[in-house]
């Protein structure tokens, strides 16, 4: 199935891009917009329900976010920051960093992010979930290539968090960050006193180490832009946070090696910060076609964030991580065979899959009454990317790709689970458009 998905996703390149929102020069939900960067007007930003206008004086940008479970008052909220776009390649020339290319899997929409946030909140009872856009990504204005890892990026996100809290009546934050999103979280610890928990997953927390070549020399973009970069090793000197901090990652990681976060952990512990480190198993997305990297740990980061937000002690959480235990347990009523058939047959369902929870919907499926399972690109719902079969066997939902598993009904959500105690495989939200 991975090969067919890669071929189908590659076909998205020829699709005409939808016009950007009013006041935006480009739509950074698309690959073209990510590569070009985007500007935005204050009026255009304020017209969007998910837009936050940030004015730093030196920079003015519109940062976008997706909210799940934000309709009910809550003192604590989980905010997740994504990593860099899948398959992104960068080029440094004349003092500027450019995005050369990015995988088609990056493309998504405001709706697919909102559905992902809603589904995450449905699975993670107890706290609202916000998926925060970074400058130049996920519909936000800015220049991702140039803003990535910079002090400007941290300052913009910091101001956006303050506005987000005010808009939604939030008192304290639980931050989760994967890869470059984890770098943001580490730097935010030095700037904010309202962070209850911080989960940093597979992140480059020592930028000098991250940019060091095998021969010991530093890359040109790091050497020339060091003063602009937000190196967490430097911001650690100003960090006096009382937050409970988790740093997690796979020691086999080939994108952000363990050495790029190990020294930060040691330095943070010497400063007396409450840091828990745990080695976990990283995953990969087969759709990108890249070799194994053991890098994807964002789902585990969100699990830990939820557990910390709901009162798990730090040492208990660390032990669960080291033992590979399921931390977030699915809830809901087990469905029988006929109930499963009625829940899926003839419906269009949008969902997220383990271990790829994060920034966007990863499943857009039509389950035909004749037993065909049609998968569509979440950003292009008229483009089919794979076709398989589905059926019900006893009290389990079966597909040609994943085998047979139990289903739990939890309000408007359907959770496909395995094992005992059950673990998430996928979560679906109610019908979307055909």
Q: Which of 283, 302, 322 is the last residue of a domain?
A: 322
What is d(CA 195, CA 122) in angstroms, rounded to the nearest whole number? 23
Q: Are 296 and 424 part of one and the same domain? A: no
Please state the pTM of the whole predicted model: 0.93
Q: Are 231 and 367 part of one and the same domain? A: no
**By residue range, what is the domain housing residue 361?**
333-429
Q: Are 310 and 377 part of one and the same domain? A: no
Q: Are 100 and 181 part of one and the same domain? A: yes
Comparing C-alpha atoms, which of 18, 19, 38 is closest to residue 28? 38
Alpha carbons within 13 angstroms on the beta-carbon side of residue 173 total: 28
Q: Which of 322, 344, 361 is the last residue of a domain?
A: 322
Q: Are 355 and 261 part of one and the same domain? A: no
Q: Are 129 and 162 part of one and the same domain? A: yes
Structure tokens at 362: 């990863």
Q: Are 250 and 362 part of one and the same domain? A: no
With a CB cutoff of 8 Å and minimum separation 6, the contacts of 433 are 348, 381
* pLDDT for the residue 7: 34
Q: Are 232 and 374 part of one and the same domain? A: no
Q: Are 97 and 139 part of one and the same domain? A: yes
Tell me, yes or no, whether 434 lies in a domain.
no
Comparing C-alpha atoms, which of 78, 354, 40 is closest to residue 197? 78
Q: Are 228 and 342 part of one and the same domain? A: no
Mean pLDDT by runs of 10 across the 434 residues of the chain is 39 61 97 97 98 97 94 86 93 92 90 90 88 97 97 98 96 96 98 97 94 85 89 95 96 92 96 96 77 88 94 95 92 96 94 77 90 91 90 96 95 92 88 48
Q: Are 109 and 250 part of one and the same domain? A: yes
* pLDDT for the residue 288: 64
> In the chain, how many domains are there?
2
Q: Are 66 and 203 part of one and the same domain? A: yes
């Amino acid at each position: 199935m991975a090969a067919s998905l890669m071929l189908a996703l590659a076909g998205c390149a020829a699709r005409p891009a939808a016009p950007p929102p009013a006041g935006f020069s480009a739509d950074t939900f698309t690959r073209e917009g990510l590569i070009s960067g985007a500007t935005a007007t204050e009026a255009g930003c304020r017209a969007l329900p998910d837009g936050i206008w940030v004015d730093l004086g030196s920079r003015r940008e519109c940062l976008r976010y997706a909210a799940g479970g934000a309709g009910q008052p809550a003192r604590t909220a989980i905010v997740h920051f994504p990593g860099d776009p899948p398959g992104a390649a960068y080029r440094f020339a004349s003092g500027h960093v450019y995005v050369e290319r990015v995988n088609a899997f990056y493309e998504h929409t405001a709706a697919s992010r909102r559905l992902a946030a809603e589904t995450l909140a449905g699975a993670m009872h107890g706290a609202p979930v916000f998926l925060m856009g970074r400058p130049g990504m996920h519909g936000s204005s800015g220049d991702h290539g140039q803003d990535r890892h910079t002090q400007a990026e941290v300052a913009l996100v910091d101001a956006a968090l303050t506005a987000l809290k005010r808009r939604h009546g939030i008192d304290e934050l639980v931050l989760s960050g994967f890869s470059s999103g984890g770098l943001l979280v580490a730097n935010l610890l030095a700037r904010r006193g309202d962070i209850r928990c911080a989960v940093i997953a597979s992140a480059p927390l020592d930028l000098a180490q991250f940019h060091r070549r095998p021969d010991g020399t530093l890359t040109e973009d790091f050497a020339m832009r060091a003063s602009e970069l937000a190196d967490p090793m430097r911001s650690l000197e100003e960090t006096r946070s009382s937050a409970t901090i988790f740093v997690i990652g796979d020691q086999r990681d080939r994108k952000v090696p363990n050495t790029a976060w190990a020294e930060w952990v040691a330095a943070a512990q010497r400063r007396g910060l409450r840091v828990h480190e745990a080695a976990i198993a990283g995953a990969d997305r087969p759709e990108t076609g890249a070799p194994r990297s053991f890098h994807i740990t964002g789902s585990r980061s969100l699990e830990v964030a939820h557990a910390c937000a709901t009162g798990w002690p730090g040492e208990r959480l660390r032990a669960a991580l080291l033992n590979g235990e399921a931390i977030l347990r699915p809830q809901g009523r087990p469905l029988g065979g006929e109930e499963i058939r009625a829940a899926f047959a003839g419906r269009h369902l949008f969902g997220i899959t383990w271990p790829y929870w994060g920034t966007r919907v990863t499943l857009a499926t039509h389950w035909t009454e004749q037993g065909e399972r049609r998968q569509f690109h979440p950003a292009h719902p008229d483009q089919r990317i794979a076709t398989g079969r589905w059926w019900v066997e006893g009290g389990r939902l079966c597909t040609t790709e994943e085998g047979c598993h139990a289903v739990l009904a939890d309000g408007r959500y359907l959770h496909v689970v395995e094992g005992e105690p059950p673990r998430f495989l996928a979560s679906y939200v109610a019908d979307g458009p055909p």
